[in-house]
Structure 1
């Protein structure tokens, strides 16, 4: 067992980089996180923090700090275009979920990371990474470490610099995200998806005064993809949401295609990749942040007291990767189902949605990540 204090250099000041930095520092490492932007900012609107990430964050006091900014969901439901509920369950046990603004989570992670002693450097552009244990910035300065980590997103250049074979692919689905300053249409603590044809709208409370809304459509749906939001077009497919559309048409939004990242491995030597860099996936199961934080926690546990970092990283991937791979597959299938289900079979769609709730097999596959590390020898700390 090693007795000297070890050091980690992390490229990327988002959820993965700050989360892993916090965990390593709490375990006794010295850590520096490099963020290329001039400040710690998160792109997006709201965020579902599910059981696997909650189990991790609770150990570091993050959930306690987040609660005033978020909403604990009590129910999740799906409604059809006529407003009828076709699927509903309580969000309890391993299905529990806290919804917060994305920026709130990043701010708390940055605060907790610094409290544990992490050095967070903004405006630091990391351009290279070495499997032997170093990050290199754009000016050529080398940052050597016992462990180096790329957490620079789905389009990661550092992943490619390590020689890790992988692919980044945009899918044929677009998502608009809104965070609006009202709870007028989210007065109960529930998240609701509204399905109509190949369009979906998710509406959920996100703290005491805000609501998070996502609007999903096929890439070829030109009226649906129009911004500002086309009220007439969306009201035609979802006639019960006119008041919500009027608000959304005036609200700022972001629009992105769904994306998928596939890689042949998660590490090379003393270098690891985490987050979307390793397993970017469609947000259909709400597990982008969950997998990132869960796998970061597992990485920290695997390198605890281990002198052979490359071997620990290989064991880390071997132990936990099956959860991410399965979640990716089912997230893509869920996207296909919601986007490509044939119009001629539209009457059968509610029956299939109902099967998601009542089929034990489908539930286990779709919710595997919610149970997370309880499915592995690592587990979660008590």
Structure 2
């Protein structure tokens, strides 16, 4: 088998994971990253066991764990006055792993040789033939082209690859949700007895906090928002106005967060695509199935995508056929998780006092069992072994 080449559009977590996986599978890879200074900006996130299994399959599990901290926020739910709706219970509940986006990006980028990631390179044109794909892209020095056997679109919810190859694909959909994210300074707001994370459900508002390395805390606040594009002069002050009176340690966490570091995003997702694949072009991560953050599965699914893609292409002599198999495996799961992530805030972020009252009572009565069943649908996934013919499927399936 001769040299096989891939171009990956997007140097975020999904794109780097795909590059690592494809190189592990014997491919030569170039990553085109539109930012002039590659790196992951943002705050933090949490990863479920399915993502950790994907990291292990990619050969970066040890590095992944080194920048992560266990968090119990997924099964620790409270009301704004501090009452517990559900407490994390060892043996019943599984901790997630939380890390800072920049830390994870750094350890993934370190797995790739210098020159693999090309900064300030944005895809503009994609042309396919029977034997390969030509990618035209813009650089500061002018237009350039790359020839490859495969193009992977890992360039986010507003993917240039998706626009070029699927021009009739639906545009991102605003889900009437606004999200603020922040990270405290090291040690600031850190409780004396340590910190294990929590989520707090208010009516039409949801606050969550996860521990990070170096005694930092990543927090988020999601609220209902009628239209996109609304802006606030001081985002941290706006967050304080909404939840500054909620239970401890929320006020201390906000006090320990630099105002200039607070991020604000309107939440969009994607309607289901008819396919993640066209010939020698494949989409993964947000480019394929951008979803709301309510299940903490967006980056997890990108890691799954990258693992399955690399495993399916390890020994493939027919790239389009291998990509068709990738689409057959990944699209049903991506659709399911995205659908669940879209449905969740219809209840958990409802502004209705009746819905909020029912949600909190039912969660208090049966939250542990409900959470376990919901987690099983998301987390029961077996990672493929890259370089062998097995392909990742939900656990229990061949």
TM norm. shorter chain > 0.5:
yes
1:71 matched residue in structure 2: 69
Please report how far the alpha carbon of residue 348 of structure 1 lies from its aligned counterpart in structure 2 after TM superposition. 1.8
Residues 276-323 of structure 1: CA deviation (Å, up to 9, x unaligned): 000000010111110001011101111221121111111111123222
- Specify which of 155, 161, 164 is matched with residue 161 of structure 1: 164
Residues 5-41 of structure 1: CA deviation (Å, up to 9, x unaligned): 2111111111111110011111111111111212212
Please report how far the alpha carbon of residue 163 of structure 1 lies from its aligned counterpart in structure 2 after TM superposition. 2.3
Residues 51-100 of structure 1: CA deviation (Å, up to 9, x unaligned): 11211212444332244432122563000122111123357799442111
Distance of 1:188 and 1:77 partners within structure 2: 15
Please report how far the alpha carbon of residue 336 of structure 1 lies from its aligned counterpart in structure 2 after TM superposition. 1.3
Give yes or no for contact 1:234–1:245 (8 Å, CA) kept in 2: no
Give yes or no for contact 2:183–2:257 (8 Å, CA) kept in 1: no
Residues 86-126 of structure 1: CA deviation (Å, up to 9, x unaligned): 12335779944211110111111111122xx8711112222
Distance of 2:118 and 2:21 partners within structure 1: 17
Give yes or no for contact 2:40–2:105 (8 Å, CA) kept in 1: yes
- Judging changes above 3 Å, is the alpha-carbon distance between structure 1 residues 4 and 291 closer, same or farther for their aligned structure 2 residues? same
2:308 matched residue in structure 1: 298
2:215 matched residue in structure 1: 209
Distance of 2:382 and 2:372 partners within structure 1: 17
Distance of 1:42 and 1:54 partners within structure 2: 19
Secondary structure of 2:175's counterpart equals strand
- Specify which of 268, 271, 275 is matched with residue 265 of structure 1: 275
Give yes or no for contact 1:284–1:334 (8 Å, CA) kept in 2: yes
Determine if the alignment matches structure 1 residue 17 to structure 2 residue 23: no
Higher mean alpha-carbon deviation, 294-303 vs 49-58, is at 49-58
- Specify which of 109, 126, 131 is matched with residue 129 of structure 1: 126
Please report how far the alpha carbon of residue 224 of structure 1 lies from its aligned counterpart in structure 2 after TM superposition. 9.5
Residues 108-166 of structure 1: CA deviation (Å, up to 9, x unaligned): 1111122xx87111122221223431211124432111111111110112202102623
1:358 matched residue in structure 2: 369
Distance of 1:358 and 1:141 partners within structure 2: 55
- Per the normalisation by structure 1, the TM-score is 0.88
Distance of 1:91 and 1:26 partners within structure 2: 36
- Judging changes above 3 Å, is the alpha-carbon distance between structure 1 residues 9 and 176 closer, same or farther for their aligned structure 2 residues? same
1:141 matched residue in structure 2: 144
Secondary structure of 2:256's counterpart equals helix
List gaps (5 residues or longer) in structure 2.
385-389, 394-398
- Judging changes above 3 Å, is the alpha-carbon distance between structure 1 residues 226 and 284 closer, same or farther for their aligned structure 2 residues? farther
Distance of 2:92 and 2:297 partners within structure 1: 16
1:120 matched residue in structure 2: 117
- Judging changes above 3 Å, is the alpha-carbon distance between structure 1 residues 126 and 192 closer, same or farther for their aligned structure 2 residues? same
- Per the normalisation by structure 2, the TM-score is 0.85
- Specify which of 25, 29, 45 is matched with residue 47 of structure 1: 45
- Judging changes above 3 Å, is the alpha-carbon distance between structure 1 residues 301 and 94 closer, same or farther for their aligned structure 2 residues? farther
Give yes or no for contact 2:307–2:383 (8 Å, CA) kept in 1: no
Residues 148-185 of structure 1: CA deviation (Å, up to 9, x unaligned): 11111101122021026233111101110001113434
1:173 matched residue in structure 2: 177
- Judging changes above 3 Å, is the alpha-carbon distance between structure 1 residues 191 and 225 closer, same or farther for their aligned structure 2 residues? farther
2:261 matched residue in structure 1: 252
Higher mean alpha-carbon deviation, 82-91 vs 315-324, is at 82-91
List gaps (5 residues or longer) in structure 1.
none
Give yes or no for contact 1:79–1:87 (8 Å, CA) kept in 2: yes
Secondary structure of 2:391's counterpart equals coil
1:335 matched residue in structure 2: 345
Distance of 2:124 and 2:92 partners within structure 1: 43
- Judging changes above 3 Å, is the alpha-carbon distance between structure 1 residues 24 and 286 closer, same or farther for their aligned structure 2 residues? same
Secondary structure of 2:111's counterpart equals helix
Distance of 2:92 and 2:16 partners within structure 1: 27
- Judging changes above 3 Å, is the alpha-carbon distance between structure 1 residues 94 and 353 closer, same or farther for their aligned structure 2 residues? closer
Cα RMSD over matched residues?
2.8
1:308 matched residue in structure 2: 318
1:276 matched residue in structure 2: 286
2:387 matched residue in structure 1: none
- Judging changes above 3 Å, is the alpha-carbon distance between structure 1 residues 97 and 126 closer, same or farther for their aligned structure 2 residues? same
Distance of 2:26 and 2:96 partners within structure 1: 30
Distance of 1:233 and 1:371 partners within structure 2: 36
Higher helix share: 1
